[in-house]
A = this chain, B = another copy of it.
C-alpha cells in the first residue's frame, strides 16, 4: 500500500488537484469550462476517498489505528469535509478545503516533511527570545497607546492596532511616516485617514526616543530570533537528512549481501 508507484501516483493526483484549484482563480476559465473542472474535482475527490479506504484496509483488522497518525486525520477530514452536502452553500470554505489538498504534498515528499519538521521543531529552542520579542511588542504597544493614542488613532488607537503598527515597524515598512506623525503632530503631517485627527499633539522628543529605541531593539531581537531559528533548523535538517540516509544505506548494505 505504501509502495513507491502508489505514492508516486498519489503525488501526481495532488499536483493535478493543485493545478485544478489554481485554474479556479481565473473567472473566464470557470465560466467556460466550469462543469468539466467540477467533474475533474469530483474525480480527484473519489481518488482521495479511495486512498483513505485503502490505507484503512491495509491496517485490517484494526482500521482505527489509521487515526493515530496526524497526517491520516488531516487526509480524512479533507475528504469528509468535501463530501458534506451543506458546505456547498459556503463557496469560499469549499474552495479553501480544495486548496488544503495541496498541503498533502508535504506528506508524500518525505524530504519536504523533514525540512518542515526541522523548521517547526527549532521554534521551542528559541522560546525565550520569542518571549522577549512578545514582551517588547506588548510594552511598546501599551506605551504607544498611552503616548500617541490621542494624536494618531490610526496607528495607536488601541492595543491591537498598536501591535499591528509595531509589527509593521519591525519589518521597517513605513516606520518613518509613523514617526513623523508623532513628531510634527497629525495636524502638520497627515494621517492616512485625516478625519481621525481630532487632538493633534506634536511630541518630537518622545517620538524620536520611542521609535528609534524600538527600531534598534526590535530589529536586534527580531534578527536574533530569525537567525536563531535558521541556524537551529539547518542543524536539525542536516541531522534528520543524515538519519534518513543512514538507514537506507543500511538497507542497501543488506540488499547487497
Contacts and interface: CB of A to CB of B under 8 A. Distances in A.
A43 interface: no
Contact of A220 (B25, B112, B119): B119
A58 interface: no
A51 to B, nearest CB: 20
Contact of A22 (B22, B138, B176): B138
Contacts of A99: 139, 142-143, 146
Contact of A26 (B106, B158, B193): B158
Interface stretch (A59-67, A75-83, A228-236): A228-236
A41 interface: no
A56 interface: no
Contacts of A176: 168, 173-174
A132 interface: yes
A111 B128 contact: yes
Interface string A5-45: 00000000000001001101111000000000000000000
Contacts of A142: 21-22, 24-25, 99, 102
Interface in A105-147: 105-106, 109, 111-112, 114-116, 119, 128-129, 131-132, 135, 138-139, 141-143, 145-147
Interface of A: 18, 21-22, 24-27, 92, 95-96, 99, 102-103, 105-106, 109, 111-112, 114-116, 119, 128-129, 131-132, 135, 138-139, 141-143, 145-147, 149, 158-159, 162, 164, 167-168, 171-176, 179-180, 188-189, 192-193, 208, 212, 215, 219-221, 223-224, 226-230, 233-234
9 contacts: A25-B141, A99-B142, A106-B135, A109-B128, A168-B176, A172-B173, A173-B173, A173-B174, A228-B234
Given A112-B132, A115-B128, A172-B173, 11 more contacts: A22-B138, A25-B142, A25-B158, A25-B159, A26-B159, A92-B146, A106-B135, A112-B135, A164-B212, A173-B176, A224-B233
